[in-house]
Structure 1
Amino acid sequence: MKNPVNTSVISPAARRRPSRRLPIAGMIGIAIVVFWLVMALIGPYIAAYGVGGVIGDDVFAPMSMHHPLGTDYLGRDMLSRILHGAPYTIGVALAAVSLASLGGTALALCTAATGGWFDAVVSRVVDTMLSIPHQLLALIIVASFGSSVPLLILTAGIGYMPGAYRIGRALAVNVQAMDYVQAARVRGERLFYITCFEMLPNMFRPVLADFGLRFLFIVLLLSGLSFLGLGIQPPQADWGLLVRENIIGLSEGAPAVIVPAIAIATLTIAVNMVIDSMVGRKRRGNEV
Structure 2
Amino acid sequence: MKLFGQKLTFTALFGLVVTTLFLLVVLLAPWIAPFGEAETVGGTWDLASAQHWLGTDQIGRDMFTRILYGTRMTIAVAFAITLMSFFIGIVIGFTSAVLGGWVDTFFSRLVDVMLSIPSLIFALIILGVFGSSIPVLILTIAVLDATRVFRLSRALGMNLTVMEYVEAAKLRGEGLWWVITREILPNAWAPLVAEFGLRFCFNFLFIAGLSFLGLGIQPPFADLGGMVKENAAAINFGMMAPIYPAATIALLTVAVNLVVDWMLSVDARPSGAQAEL
TM-score normalised by the chain length of structure 2: 0.93
Q: Of 127, 151, 158, which residue of structure 2 is paired with 1:142?
A: 127
Partner of 2:231: 246
Q: Of 200, 206, 229, which residue of structure 1 is paired with 2:214?
A: 229
Partner of 2:30: 44
Partner of 2:156: 171
Shift of 1:191: 2.1
Runs of 4+ more than 6 Å apart: none
Partner of 1:28: 14
Shift of 1:282: 1.2
Q: Deviations over 1:43-99 (max 9, x none)?
A: 12321111111112x221111110111111111110011111122110000001111
Partner of 2:176: 191
Superposition map of 1:213-228 within 5 A: 213-228=198-213
Are the equivalent residues in 2 in contact too, given 1:239–1:261 (CA < 8 A)?
yes
Are the equivalent residues in 2 in contact too, given 1:60–1:252 (CA < 8 A)?
no
How many percent of aligned residue pairs carry the same amino acid?
43
Q: Name the larger-Rg structure.
A: 1
Are the equivalent residues in 2 in contact too, given 1:39–1:83 (CA < 8 A)?
yes
Q: Deviations over 1:188-229 (max 9, x none)?
A: 322222111111001001111111111111111110111111
Q: d(CA) in 1 for partners of 2:44 and 2:151?
A: 49
What residue identity is the alignment partner of 2:54? L
Instruction: Report the number of matched residues.
Output: 269
Question: Structure 2: which 5+ runs fail to align?
Answer: none
Partner of 1:261: 246
Q: Does 1:82 align with 2:88?
A: no
Q: d(CA) in 1 for partners of 2:31 and 2:142?
A: 28
Are the equivalent residues in 1 in contact too, given 2:80–2:138 (CA < 8 A)?
yes
Q: Deviations over 1:159-181 (max 9, x none)?
A: 11111001100000001111221
Shift of 1:41: 1.7
Shift of 1:253: 5.6
What residue identity is the alignment partner of 1:154? L
Q: Does 1:92 align with 2:82?
A: no
What residue identity is the alignment partner of 2:31? Y
Aligned-residue RMSD, C-alpha: 1.4
Question: Structure 1: which 5+ runs fail to align?
Answer: 1-18
Q: d(CA) in 1 for partners of 2:146 and 2:117?
A: 12
What residue identity is the alignment partner of 1:96? I
What residue identity is the alignment partner of 1:220? L
Partner of 2:139: 154
